[in-house]
Amino acid sequence: MLETLLITALLGAHPAHPAPFAAQTIDATSTTTSSSTSADAQDYAAGGITLADIIRAQAAPESLQGFETVVLAQLNAAFGSENLPQVNGAPVEPGIYLTVSPTALYMFDTEVTPLSGGLTPPGPASRECKSGCKQLLWAGFRRLWLQTLEEAQRLTLEVPTRVMFGAEASVPAKTIVELAYAAGETRPGVPPNFSLLVNGGNAGLRARPFYVLPPGGMRVAPGDNALGLRISLSAGESFEISAAHPRFAPRISGTGWKELAKQLVAIKKKYPNKTTLVIDVGDASVGDVAMVMLAANKKFANFVLTDGLPIKWG
């Protein structure tokens, strides 16, 4: 099902996001506080909001007040919302959320595992995970989704479709890719929609949507109408632009986000109907990925994250 999600990203389009704001700590007390008193699904409750509340909010958003307040409180406690990537994005909607600091991973306010420099600890891969995600992550997400499914069935509602990652900007972006695969491969039915949480300054907490490549990569053909445009990131804001389509040549290398934005403007003029960028994260940080999204903001709307997986032509 991840293949379907990616093809939607390659061929679809989403509205461009607003311009960035200056960085600041987001004050959780400036938003409405939660009035929820539900006692359902306490294993994953946070700030008085439960899984049941989030499930209900998908069908009736007005039923849940204060979700953003709870998420901000968690982020500020973990590493400070001023240390989120500092760009703007789309409004935050209720869903499953994870907090990723350099030292720990949380599902809601429950710690799942310690991290070292934002990286998950070494461990065996799950046999059930096509992407090779670690057994620790597979088990954690599977437990979360099974409990969520039980709640959704009890309420006769749908399982949440959104998973958000609130990651400190210095966290390696490959960690987010790894977590996204674990979340996507364990969810009942189709994979969820993914977003990075970002600091939008005066706009408050915002979300930057993204996709991931199918496990093992993918192959595109001329009939798919896909360019497969890829930005491969390296240290020091270095980048290389390439594409799966053979008509895209030569590769373009450069340094700095302003230079990247300049190159993307030129590429967009040549391929005006293309709306998707594949970001090969390499050793880049979550903050670097957010800056790539910002550099492409006015020209490309869809972003697909990968850690070295190929898109093959033909």
Residues 86-145: tens digit of each pLDDT: 999 999 999 999 999 999 999 998 999 999 999 999 999 999 999 999 999 999 999 999
Structure tokens at 223: 């009939």
pLDDT for the residue 47: 67
Q: Yes or no: say if 140 and 107 are a contact pair by the CB < 8 Å rule.
A: yes
Count Cβ atoms below 10 Å from residue 144 Cβ, excluding itself: 24
Does residue 27 share a domain with residue 8?
yes
Mark whether 76 and 134 lie in a shared domain. yes
User: pLDDT averaged over the chain?
Assistant: 86
Asked if residue 251 and residue 149 are part of one domain, the reply reads: no
Residues 98, 196: one domain?
A: yes
User: Can you tell me the mean pLDDT for 280-306?
Assistant: 95
The average pLDDT across 69-94 equals 94
- Reference 123, options 106, 146, 140, 111; nearest CA is 140
What six digits make up the tokens of 245? 């389509």
Are the CB atoms for 271 and 227 separated by under 8 Å?
yes
In angstroms and rounded to an integer, the radius of gyration of the C-alpha atoms of the chain is 19
141 shares a domain with 15: yes
- Please tell me whether residues 172 and 305 are part of one structural domain: no
Q: Is 183 helix (H, G, I), strand (E, B) or coil?
A: helix
Mean pLDDT value across residues 174-199 = 95
pLDDT higher for 52 or 290?
A: 290
Token digits of residue 227: 């360019």
Query: pLDDT at position 41, please?
Result: 37
Q: What is the secondary structure of 284-295 as a DSSP string?
A: -BHHHHHHHHHH
> Is there a single domain that holds both residue 201 and residue 74?
yes
Pick from 33, 39, 67: nearest CA to 75 = 67
Closest to 67 (Cα-Cα) out of 201, 191, 162, 184: 162
Cβ neighbors of 249 (< 8 A, separation 6 or more) are none
Predicted confidence at residue 27, as pLDDT, reads 47
CA dihedral 47, 52, 53, 56 (to 10 degrees): 170
Do 112 and 248 share a domain, yes or no?
no
- Identify the CA nearest to 74 among candidates 59, 56, 55, 92: 92
Q: Is the pLDDT of residue 24 over 80?
A: no
Q: How many domains is the chain built from? A: 2
What pLDDT, on the 0 to 100 scale, is given for residue 46?
A: 63
- Predicted local confidence at residue 297, as pLDDT: 86
pLDDT category of residue 169 using cuts at 50, 70 and 90: very high
Q: What is the DSSP string of 60-71?
A: -GGG---HHHHH
Q: What is the CATH number of the domain that holds 230?
A: 3.30.420
pLDDT at residue 209 greater than cutoff 80: yes
Domain boundary residue among 196, 212, 228? 212
Assign 177 a pLDDT band (cuts: 50, 70, 90).
Answer: very high
Assign residue 191 a region: left if phi > 0, alpha if psi is -120 to 50, beta otherwise? beta
Instruction: Mark which of 212, 234, 250 sits at the end of a domain.
Output: 212
pLDDT at 35: 35
CA neighbor of 281 nearest in space, from 153, 161, 179: 179
Is residue 38 very low, low, confident or very high in pLDDT (cuts 50, 70, 90)? Answer: very low
Asked if residue 206 and residue 94 are part of one domain, the reply reads yes
Last residue of a domain, one of 153, 187, 212: 212
Q: Where are the beta strands (DSSP E) in 223-300?
A: 229-234, 238-243, 252-255, 276-280
User: Is the same domain home to 276 and 298?
Assistant: yes
Q: Are strands 276-280 and 252-255 parallel, antiparallel or unpaired?
A: unpaired
- Per-residue confidence at 61, pLDDT binned at 50, 70, 90? confident
Same domain, 299 and 234: yes
Task: Look at residue 37 and tell me whether its pLDDT is greater than 70.
Answer: no
Distance in angstroms (rounded) separating the CA atoms of residues 11 and 154: 36
User: What's the CA angle centered on 301, arms 261 and 283, to 5 degrees?
Assistant: 60
Residue 30 has pLDDT above 80, yes or no: no
**pLDDT at residue 232, as a whole number:** 98
Do 96 and 191 lie in a common domain?
Answer: yes
Range of the domain at 27: 2-212
At 4 the pLDDT is 40
Environment class of residue 156 by beta-carbon count within 10 Å: exposed (0-12), middle (13-18) or buried (19+)? exposed
The pLDDT of 175-187, averaged and rounded, is: 96
Do the bridges between strand 205-212 and strand 110-114 make them parallel or antiparallel, or are there none, so unpaired?
Answer: unpaired
Report whether pLDDT(20) > 70. no
Assess contact for 211 and 306: CB atoms under 8 A: no
pLDDT, one tens digit per residue, over 145-168 is 999 999 999 999 999 999 999 999
User: Whole-model pTM?
Assistant: 0.86
Q: Are 13 and 298 in contact (CB under 8 A)?
A: no
